[in-house]
Amino acid sequence: MSKLSFFLLILFAAGLIYSQSGTGKPQILFSDFVQLPTGDSADVYYCYKIPLNRLVFEKGSDLFLAQYRVSVEVFDSSGQKFVTRAIKEKNIQVPDYEQTRSPLIYSEGLLKLDLSPGTYSIMELLYDYKSGRELRLPSYIMKMEPVQNILSPLVVYKNTTECNNLIVLANYGGKLPFDENQYSFIIPVKNSKSDSLYVVVIQKKDTLFKKILTEPLKEKIKLGECGGKIVIDENTEGNIYSLFSINGISNSIKEGGFQINVSEPNESGKQEKFQVGCSWIDKPLSLKNPEMAINALKFIEKDSVISELLSGDDEDYAANLAEFWKKTDPTPASEFNPLMQEFYTRIDYAVKNFATISGTNGAKTDRGKVYIRFGKPGDVDRTSDNHGNIIETWTYNNPQRKFVFVDKKGTGDFSLISG
């Protein structure tokens, strides 16, 4: 059995149940502005999302507590003249310490602003009450166009467990997350009489979707909050929208940009083009450099395979790596490969957690190599021998395996002595 086949066997025996985010610094805050017309004007919503590991938590009696304030300040295009601001404060309570460290659990919120079409300078601020620190994010320019009939597509998913099956915004700064989940696009059309919409989705030179959408949902809508998420909710006033849905194509979209072209069949020649990004939110750090990612395959593959993947030009490395993993993709219908994610996530974890005092890369240690091949052990036991050396025993349950490591020098460099 080849190293790769053995790795796959172990990985699927473990059920892909363990995942650890990459060691790269997570994004501090995702944010986006959404316009929804109400009569001749528009409601402007500022949507944000903060990873919990960017906040400071304190231990309460039985919960971990955090508190923050998000401010968005709007200036004219020169950045000198103040226009308006909106502020939101939130208290966070979580029962598990590990949740406080997660870059993949979020606190989300919504602010409403009164803005006319124009060009603005935006300043975002995050104040953490537990640490007393305020973080000012780099300012940026936002151009708010006059409201068009066809509005920007919203990246959404359906929440079936809370909020009466309301549609939820993915809320990653307007981007489509590159992961194993299914997302849809909602295209609001201001004209409530619109009953069809011609949509083409293009990525590079590939046409991923081309269809005339019919039978839109007719609703008065607004953005709201429910269960800690940003949702599309019913409104009691304002415009009735025609809401068109694009379903079933999110897993066909690769990392990077793509374009959604939209037109109304009865409006000859008038087309709206929307540029959208697809971002791998928790991409492992060890996967961000294709050449390094290929070299990391030495843990499961022969040198000849690695040499072949590196035989082309530098710009071919990413495509070569994707093709290598595509051969063993457990979800071939999707561009996202969970096996690839798991492998490089394990490398990130090994690099971060098994580095030695002497500076040895954690992935190159015996514990790191075992972790990369077998994942998180079911049980870790630490003892000492008669010489005072620390003994660490890792036990795996599926399949049954045991590895014993010893730190003979007291530097954190555990050598494998059994397994």
As a whole number of angstroms, the distance between CA 66 and CA 85 comes to: 23
Question: Phi/psi of residue 368, each to 5°?
Answer: -60, -45
Boundary residue ending a domain (145, 173, 202): 145
57 and 111 inside one domain = yes
Instruction: Taking each helix axis as running N to C, give the angle between helix 366-374 and helix 3-13, from 0 to 180 degrees, rounded to the nearest 10.
Output: 70
14 and 28 inside one domain = no
Query: What's the pLDDT score for residue 37?
Result: 83
203 and 304 inside one domain = no
Q: Is 401 exposed, middle or buried (0-12, 13-18, 19+ CB in 10 A)?
A: middle
The pLDDT tens digits for 197-256 are 999 999 999 999 999 999 999 999 999 999 899 999 988 888 899 999 999 999 999 999
Query: In the structure, what pLDDT confidence band is assigned to residue 113 with cuts at 50, 70 and 90?
Result: very high
Q: pLDDT averaged over the chain?
A: 89
As a whole number of angstroms, the distance between CA 191 and CA 212 comes to: 17
171 and 227 inside one domain = yes
Range of 155-169, 200-214, 400-414 with top mean pLDDT: 200-214
Query: What's the pLDDT score for residue 298?
Result: 92
pTM above 0.75, yes or no: yes
Query: In the structure, what pLDDT confidence band is assigned to residue 162 with cuts at 50, 70 and 90?
Result: low
Give, rounded to a whole angstrom, the gap between the first and last alpha carbons of the chain. 18
Beta-bridged to residue 207, according to DSSP, are 202
Strands 176-177 and 271-279, by their bridges, are parallel
* Ranges 64-73, 178-187, 385-394: which has the least confidence: 385-394
Query: What's the pLDDT score for residue 269?
Result: 61
Beta-bridged to residue 167, according to DSSP, are 158, 232
Using the predicted structure, report yes or no on whether residue 272 has a pLDDT greater than 70.
yes
* Nearest Cα to Cα of residue 367 among 398, 411, 301: 411
Query: What's the pLDDT score for residue 14?
Result: 39
410 and 307 inside one domain = yes
Domain tally for the chain?
3
Boundary residue ending a domain (229, 254, 282): 282
Boundary residue ending a domain (94, 127, 145): 145
Query: What's the pLDDT score for residue 201?
Result: 98
DSSP state string for 207-226 = EEEEEEEES-EEEEEEEEEE
Query: In the structure, what pLDDT confidence band is assigned to residue 123 with cuts at 50, 70 and 90?
Result: very high
153 and 174 inside one domain = yes
Using the predicted structure, report yes or no on whether residue 7 has a pLDDT greater than 70.
no
DSSP single-letter state for residue 312: S
Query: What's the pLDDT score for residue 11?
Result: 46
Q: Which are the contacts of 103, defined by CB distance < 8 A and separation ≥ 6?
A: 21, 26, 51, 52, 53, 282
111 and 174 inside one domain = no
231 and 271 inside one domain = yes
As a whole number of angstroms, the distance between CA 113 and CA 120 comes to: 13
Q: State the CATH number of the domain containing residue 66.
A: 2.60.40.10
Q: Virtual CA dihedral for 243, 248, 198, 261, nearest 10 degrees?
A: 100
Query: What's the pLDDT score for residue 21?
Result: 36
The pLDDT tens digits for 317-346 are 999 999 999 998 999 999 999 999 999 999
Using the predicted structure, report yes or no on whether residue 412 has a pLDDT greater than 80.
yes
Using the predicted structure, report yes or no on whether residue 6 has a pLDDT greater than 90.
no
154 and 207 inside one domain = yes
88 and 152 inside one domain = no
| Spatial contact of 284 and 344, defined as CB atoms under 8 Å apart | yes
Residue 357's domain spans which residues? 3-19+283-418
